[in-house]
Amino acid sequence: MRLQNKVALVTGGANGIGLATVERFAREGAKIILWDLTDKGKDIAERLLEAGSDVLFQKVSVTEKDKVKSAVQEAHAHFGRIDILINNAGITKDRTLLKMSNAEWDDVISVNLTGVFNCTREVAPIMKEQNYGRIVSASSNVAIRGNYGQTNYVATKTAIIGMTKVWAMELGRYGITVNCIAPGFIHTAMTDMMPEEVRKQSIPHIPLGRWGYPEDIANGYLYLASDEASFVSGICLTIDGGAAR
């Protein structure tokens, strides 16, 4: 198993890509720290525990820096180490520039960008002490090509790529790799809210002729979190079926 006895913290782990990642990592032998805002995470943790995985569920908002700090300390005390951080939690609040409210801007920045900063800042010292770590964050292919009505979202996902490159430079000397993934259209509850016509119009721009599934992104997270990617750092891996940019 590719993550045998590794301890992985996955934010936003109760739905969509996060859930697929938690389940995949568990099958690969990882011990899981599952963070989510909903009590659904508790049910998932119980199910995985019954199946023989070692899982700790914590109800955490990545925007609350004090809660993030205390939860990381609790998880570290529970498992003794944290080897992998998957910064997966994210939201959208789409609106064109001239209609976007300050609250819509602030909410997306708070979760998608500041949340990644909060989590990484707390976990990185543990990885430094271990002289080992894998940090992988969620960007998006819209960070590269832009997307109508997503000023806030695109801003965060572009910033993730920049932060990834900086952290790869700063943390590499401590045996820590830092990467990100840029998914394209993926079937999740978030994208299910998009108008059907918009979804249909996207297909001709994807050479593989389909949207991806959460498991496609979980596979990317798995590779970058594994020792197979021990010499991979500072990259953004695009997983979007070859979508036109």
Catalytic residue IDs = 153
In this structure, what are the phi and psi dihedrals at residue 42, rounded to the nearest 5 degrees?
-65, -40
Return d(Cα 142, Cα 10) in angstroms, integer. Answer: 22
